[in-house]
Amino acid sequence: MNACDILDPRRVVLDIHGTNKREIIEQLSRTVIDTHPEIDLESLVDALVAREEASTTAIADGIAIPHGKVTLGEEVIAAFGRSKQGLNFESIDGSPTHLFFLLVSPNDHPSLHLRWLAHLAVLLKNPDLRTSLREADTIVEIFETLKKEEQALSEAQ
């Protein structure tokens, strides 16, 4: 598993903004629709917001992994958003959220969905990675940072 395999540069927002969860989710979801127009924006946003209403996906340390399942063939899709100043995403630790990994999985592959969630959580445990993602100036730097961390994780296993 490699986050760069499911993340496309067109689905990276370096200065995400929003005053509430729905606005943030909509902004990231629009990047998914730009690369996958067969997905209905409203259905995607509704699925992601419904998941947020069940419990927040802002897991602490400035990270949120909003996720949901839709009718989507076989692939998992990720989008990434970053807010240098941090946004209120109702994090379990009460801190502002800086890094948003949106994960969209096919309805009929729940185990794949769970594996990707676990992988992203492990990847983002590294505080140096989180700092590098917050400080990156370009999308290229975001991808280089992720690739470097994925390589380190791979070598550690």
Range 16-39 average pLDDT:
95
Tens-digit pLDDT profile for residues 57-113: 998 899 999 999 888 778 899 999 999 999 999 999 999 999 999 999 988 888 888
Angle between helices 139-156 and 110-123 (to 10 degrees): 100
The per-residue pLDDT of the chain, averaged, comes to 93
Domain that holds residue 62: 3-156
At 137, which CATH number? 3.40.930.10
Domain count, the chain: 1
Band of the pLDDT at 1, cuts 50, 70, 90?
confident
Q: Tell me whether residue 67 is one of the annotated catalytic residues.
A: yes
What Å distances lie between residue 17 and 58, 94, 143, CA to CA? 15, 18, 21
| Active-site position among 36, 67, 109, 119 | 67
Least confident of 19-23, 29-33, 72-76: 72-76
**Element counts in the chain: helices (H) and strands (E):** 6, 6
